[in-house]
Amino acid sequence: MDGVLLDSEEYIRRAGIEMFREKGYRVSQEDFMPFTGMGENRYLGGVAEKHRIPFELEKDKARTYEIYASLVKGKLSPMKGVPEFLKKCEKRNLRLALASSADRIKIDINLRETGISPETFLAIVSGLDIARKKPAPDIFLKAAEMVGVHASECLVVEDSISGVAAGKTAGARVLALTTSFSAEQLDQADWIAEDLSTAGDEPLGW
């Protein structure tokens, strides 16, 4: 979702920084980078661990989402090429799943703010639906199961290093977008593009 359908990284970082500030601690944007794509438990928890900040998972995460919802109101839109890519998938009768390490509350906020209907997807898998997070393959294995196909029949679209690794470990083919990391960092992927507008038809045609 993040870095593929929309770009909310700036806002979740700002929300995390503000949450920690309210607790009396100062953290930087760079602190969050190693945990990108791993879900908010690790995204926030990793930063807390690094700075030895006392961390109450459910309480602090809930507060972060409150701040996030207020920050993104009226400010999120689909990334370049997303509507066209979704239409291509629809024309090919592909089964779409949204697999995000984020909690369902954040998924719902993002879909609402971007105007992408949840009904676009046959299945939605959140970080709360699986025990092992990326780079483990579980989220993509679960998504494939929910749409009734084997992971080897799937194309995973990702923007993070951990996400590309998870997709490959699941046995899927992977299209990586350089919206968050460089092409060199995502070189495990089968295809690499700047965004979905430049991905071409090959990743959907195999």
Q: Which CATH number is 98's domain given?
A: 3.40.50.1000
Domain interval for residue 16 = 9-72
In this prediction, residues 40-44 reach a mean pLDDT of 92
In this prediction, residue 162 carries a pLDDT of 93
What is the pTM for the complete model shown? 0.88
Residue 50 inside a domain? The answer is yes
**For residues 143 and 123, is the Cβ–Cβ distance under 8 A?**
yes
Query: Per-residue confidence at 43, pLDDT binned at 50, 70, 90?
Result: very high
User: Which tokens sit at 5?
Assistant: 């359908």
37 pLDDT above the threshold of 90: no
Total count of domains within the chain: 2
Indicate the residue type of 33. M
DSSP 123: E
181-202: string of b/e by CB count within 10 Å (b at 16+)? beeeebeebbbbbebbeebeee
User: Is residue 141 domain-shared with residue 48, that is, in the same domain?
Assistant: no
Angle at 102 between CA 51 and CA 18, to 5 degrees: 40
194 & 96 share domain: yes
Last residue of some domain: 32, 53, 72?
Answer: 72
* Domain presence at residue 4: no
Give the whole-number percent of the chain exceeding pLDDT 90: 92
- Report the C-alpha gap between 87 and 49 in whole angstroms: 42
Domain endpoint, select from 72, 98, 113: 72
- Residue 38 confidence (pLDDT): 83
Average the pLDDT over 8-19 and give the result.
95
